[in-house]
Amino acid sequence: MLTVDFFSSIYLIMHYFLLDTPGYIDPNSAMAILTMLMGVIAGVGMTLKLYWNKLKLKLFHKDSN
């Protein structure tokens, strides 16, 4: 039920605010969107790598006693 409300609210927002937007995306805008997307992917990848290495060190750390 919560997902239905969520998607219906997104539909209302799109209907009222994005109804008169043009269907053309400038090539520079598309490149900016692509660059932002690649930055997000790189950031998520580096964050996962950092936490994976921390987890791996904790799991496989051997005591030197």
23-44 pLDDT, tens per residue? 666 778 888 889 999 999 999 9
Residue ranges of the alpha helices (H) in the chain?
Answer: 2-17, 27-59
Instruction: Look at the block and give the residue holding tokens 């950092």.
Output: 50
The whole-chain average pLDDT of the chain stands at 78
From CA 24, how far away is CA 33, in angstroms rounded? 14
State pTM to two decimals. Answer: 0.50
Half-sphere exposure of 19 (CA within 13 A, CB side): 6
* pLDDT above 90 for 47: yes
* Percent of the chain topping pLDDT 90: 26
- pLDDT recorded at residue 42: 95
- pLDDT recorded at residue 2: 56
